[in-house]
């Protein structure tokens, strides 16, 4: 069934970010390339592509996500397992991204967190082995902000120490997707590591200029403005109605009910309540509607595969912002002779 939900017209290109954009890029430079690991459904790759960075390879183990990637990037090499891919097989690329698994790090996990000792999140070490052999210019990591506190911060310290020992200067920052034109509160930590260049890592993630804030005005008599979680959008006569800002979209099953989606839902004036559809969570995450509607293997329960994949994905709008800053910094660092108007010293 197709619902006309009252969501804004979302694109993966941020329109009202509180974070300032870098200057527009010119077209004369050589193309920049990007190798994607733990690719999921291509959130990093969609944003990087919009920023003018070409994805040259994927690495993703989950069958459904591989089907999504193959649908949207049918000509790009797709490796199946970070543990078995050979370093020499990876195409040349200046940028490597890795949204490595969060299952053992997430604060939403029931029971103790295994952290980087876990079978899923521990795949970071296999990725680091590939980095050790190939040493790309820039490595970008993404994960839940629970990475910062896992094992009282020791797991995050391991990530930073590993990159440092491989010769990378590192900067990190927590971004919330709601500041990139996306109607969802979604905090994630991003790590940028530049080989032998800590200054560039900081320039990519942090802006020296002041940002133009767009905070809501305070109410009368010092009263706090209503939260966007309390503002309602939609048709008040027929519905559906939704909160102006969604809570974090996470991996879930279409078969679950009740508390699985109790914070994110649509409702109607006549009392009906329903969960968001797969197309709606795609849009809330910043993907085009129907992005994951390519199921081949999940014929019995395709919606569960879609909900789970979108909940684990990188927000494309954040990847776009990062991609533009990566491109600006990389092109600024290129030798003078690679830029237009440059003349050889022998001329």
164-196: pLDDT as tens digits: 999 999 999 999 999 999 999 999 999 999 999
* pTM flag (> 0.85): no
Residue 81 above 80 pLDDT?
yes
pLDDT score for 3? 35
Percentage with pLDDT > 90 across the chain: 55
- Among 104-118, 181-195, 288-302, the range scoring the smallest mean pLDDT is 104-118
Identify whether the C-beta of residue 85 lies closer than 8 Å to the C-beta of residue 125: no
pLDDT of residue 226: 55
Average pLDDT, the chain: 80
- Does the pLDDT of residue 105 top 70, yes or no? no
Has residue 218 got a pLDDT over 80?
no
Strand residues in the chain grouped as ranges (E): 32-37, 53-59, 78-79, 95-98, 138-144, 168-176, 187-195, 232-234, 241-243, 266-267, 273-274
The answer, yes or no, to whether residue 338 has pLDDT greater than 50, is no
Q: pLDDT class for 2, splitting at 50, 70, 90?
A: very low
Identify the residue with better confidence: 6 or 255. Answer: 255
Query: Is residue 309 over pLDDT 80?
Result: yes
Q: Output 98 or 7, whichever has higher pLDDT.
A: 98
**Using CA atoms, how far apart are residues 42 and 311, in angstroms rounded to an integer?**
13
Residue-level pLDDT at 115: 54
Q: Quick one: tokens of 71?
A: 């649908």
Inform me whether the pLDDT recorded for 90 exceeds 60: yes
CATH classification (class only), 32-208+314-332:
alpha beta
CA nearest to 205, candidates 185, 215, 224, 190: 190
Please enumerate in sequence order all residues whose Cβ is within 8 A of that of 145, keeping only pairs 6 or more positions apart, or say none: 107, 174, 187, 188, 189
Mean pLDDT of 192-218: 79
Write down the pLDDT at residue 262: 64
pLDDT of residue 214: 53
pLDDT band at 346 (very low <50, low <70, confident <90, very high): very low
- What is the predicted pLDDT for the residue at 333? 81
Three-state DSSP class for 318? helix
Beta bridge partners of 98: 37, 141
Q: What is the per-residue pLDDT for 153?
A: 79
pLDDT above 90 (res 256): no
Q: What are phi and psi of 164, to 5 degrees?
A: -65, -40
Q: Where are the domains of the chain?
A: 32-208+314-332, 228-293+301-311
């Amino acid at each position: 069934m197709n619902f006309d939900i009252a969501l804004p017209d979302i694109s993966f290109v941020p329109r009202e970010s509180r974070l300032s954009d870098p200057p527009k890029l010119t077209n004369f430079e050589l193309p920049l390339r990007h190798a994607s690991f733990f690719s999921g459904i291509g959130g990093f790759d969609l944003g990087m592509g919009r920023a003018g960075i070409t994805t040259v390879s994927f690495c993703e183990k989950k069958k459904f996500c591989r089907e999504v990637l193959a649908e949207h990037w049918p000509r790009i090499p797709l490796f199946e397992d970070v543990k078995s891919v050979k370093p020499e097989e990876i195409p040349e690329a200046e940028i490597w991204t890795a949204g490595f698994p969060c299952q053992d790090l997430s604060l939403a996990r029931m029971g103790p967190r295994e952290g980087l000792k876990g079978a899923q999140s521990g795949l970071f070490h296999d990725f680091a082995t590939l980095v050790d052999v190939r040493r790309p210019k820039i490595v970008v990591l993404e994960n839940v902000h629970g990475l910062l506190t896992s094992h009282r911060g020791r797991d995050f310290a391991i990530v930073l120490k590993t990159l440092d020992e491989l010769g990378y200067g590192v900067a990190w920052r927590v971004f919330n997707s709601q500041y990139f034109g996306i109607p969802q509160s979604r905090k994630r930590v991003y790590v940028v590591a530049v080989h032998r260049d800590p200054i560039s890592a900081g320039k990519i993630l942090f802006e020296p200029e002041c940002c133009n804030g767009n905070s809501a005005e305070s109410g009368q008599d010092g009263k706090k403005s209503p939260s966007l979680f309390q503002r309602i959008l939609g048709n008040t006569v027929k519905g559906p109605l939704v909160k102006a800002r969604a809570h974090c979209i996470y991996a879930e099953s279409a078969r679950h009910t009740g508390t699985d989606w109790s914070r994110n839902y649509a409702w109607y004036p006549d009392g009906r309540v329903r969960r968001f559809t797969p197309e709606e969570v795609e849009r809330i995450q910043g993907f085009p509607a129907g992005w994951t509607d390519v199921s081949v293997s999940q014929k019995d329960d395709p919606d569960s595969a879609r909900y789970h994949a979108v909940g684990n994905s990188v927000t494309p709008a954040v990847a776009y912002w990062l991609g533009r800053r990566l491109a600006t910094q990389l092109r600024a660092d290129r030798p003078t002779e690679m830029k237009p108007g440059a003349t050889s010293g022998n001329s």
